[in-house]
Amino acid sequence: MHNLKDLRLNFENFKKKITSRNTKVDFDQILLLDKKNRELIQKKEMLEKEKKDISKTKDKSLFAKSKEIGSKIEKLINDQNNEQKKLNDLISTLPNLPLDDVPVGKDESSNKVIEKKGEIKNFDFKPKSHYELGENLKMLDFNLATKTTGARFVFVKDKLALLERAISNFMIDVHTQQNGYQEISPPLFASENSMFGTGQLPKFENDQFEIKLDEKNDRKFLIPTAEVILTNMVKDKVLNHNELPIRLVASTPCFRKEAGSYGKDTKGMIRQHQFYKVELVSVVENHECINELERMTSCAMMILDKLKLPYRKIILCTGDMGFSAEKTYDLEVWLPSENKYREISSCSSCGTFQARRMKSRYKNNKNETVSVGTLNGSGLAVGRTLIAILENYQLNDGSIIIPDALKPYMNNLDKISINK
The average confidence (pLDDT) of the chain is 95
Q: Are 347 and 329 in contact (CB under 8 A)?
A: yes
What pLDDT does residue 106 have? 95
What pLDDT does residue 420 have? 56
Residue 328: pLDDT over 90: yes
Rounded-to-integer distance, Cα 189 and Cα 100, Å? 36
pLDDT in tens, 72-117: 999 999 999 999 999 999 999 999 999 999 999 999 999 999 999 9
| Helices (H), ranges, 239-376 | 289-307, 353-358
Q: Are 388 and 344 in contact (CB under 8 A)?
A: yes
The CA distances from residue 271 to 67, 142, 280, 403, 405, in Å, are 63, 13, 20, 24, 26
Q: What is the DSSP string of 277-295?
A: EEEEEEEE-GGGHHHHHHH
What pLDDT does residue 56 have? 83
Burial of 342 (C-beta count, 10 Å sphere; 0-12/13-18/19+): middle
Across residues 56-65, what is the average pLDDT? 83
Q: What is the DSSP string of 114-145?
A: EEEESPPP--SS-PPPHHHHHHHTT-EEHHHH
Closest-CA residue to 283 (of 194, 351, 229, 330): 351
Q: Are 241 and 362 in contact (CB under 8 A)?
A: yes
Closest-CA residue to 168 (of 270, 303, 272): 303
What pLDDT does residue 59 have? 80
Closest-CA residue to 329 (of 285, 356, 295, 306): 295
Closest-CA residue to 328 (of 303, 356, 353, 357): 353
Whether the full predicted model's pTM is greater than 0.85, yes or no, is yes
Q: Are 164 and 386 in contact (CB under 8 A)?
A: yes
Instruction: Give every CB contact of residue 380 below 8 A, 6+ residues apart in sequence.
Output: 171, 277, 278, 300, 303, 304, 331, 344, 345
Residue 327: pLDDT over 90: yes
Q: What is the DSSP string of 301-319?
A: HHHHHHHT--EEEEEPPTT
Residue 184: pLDDT over 60: yes
What pLDDT does residue 418 have? 83
Q: What is the DSSP string of 9-70?
A: HTHHHHHHHHHTTT----HHHHHHHHHHHHHHHHHHHHHHHHHHHHHHHT-GGGHHHHHHHH
Give the rounded percent of residues in the chain with a pLDDT score beyond 70. Answer: 99
> How does DSSP classify residue 103?
P
Rounded-to-integer distance, Cα 293 and Cα 350, Å? 10
**CA 44, 46, 50, 52 torsion: positive or negative?**
positive
Across residues 397-414, what is the average pLDDT? 98
Rounded-to-integer distance, Cα 146 and Cα 144, Å? 5
Q: Are 304 and 403 in contact (CB under 8 A)?
A: no
